[in-house]
């Protein structure tokens, strides 16, 4: 009987919620969004080009560094493999 009471109470609470107008909420959301976008300080074209070059250059540099470290590890492991094969046949 307890679960039936809980179900009825939940149904009453659900019925008591005020109905929201979805169209009004939609318009309100986009109005707020427009205000927020006006407050953003956007980067100018000169700075944007500079920052893009920095990101691309640092990405290339880090990628090259990872590649070189990987090749170094590969060479070391090949050397260890070669030595172990010569020792143990």
Q: What is the pLDDT of residue 15?
A: 57
For residue 9, the model assigns a pLDDT of 63
| Selected residue with higher pLDDT from 11 and 39 | 39
Give 21-70 pLDDT, tens digit per residue: 888 888 999 999 999 999 999 899 999 999 999 999 999 999 999 999 99
Q: What is the pLDDT of residue 22?
A: 86
* Whole-number pLDDT of residue 14: 56
pLDDT grade for 89, boundaries at 50, 70 and 90: confident
SS3 assignment for the chain: CHHHHHHHHHHHHHHHCCCCCHHHHHHHHHHHHHHHHHHCCCCCHHHHHHHHHHHHHHHHHHHHHHHHHHHHHHHHHHHHHHHHHHHHC
Considering only residues 20 and 62, tell me which one the structure prediction assigns the higher pLDDT.
Answer: 62
């Amino acid at each position: 009987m307890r679960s039936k009471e809980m179900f009825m109470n939940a149904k009453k609470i659900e019925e008591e919620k005020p109905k929201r107008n979805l169209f009004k909420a939609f318009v309100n959301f986009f109005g707020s969004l427009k205000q927020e976008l006006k407050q953003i300080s956007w980067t100018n074209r000169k700075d944007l080009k500079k920052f893009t070059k920095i990101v691309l250059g640092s990405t290339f540099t880090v990628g090259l560094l990872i590649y070189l470290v990987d090749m170094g590890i590969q060479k070391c492991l090949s050397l260890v493999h070669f030595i172990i094969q010569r020792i143990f046949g």
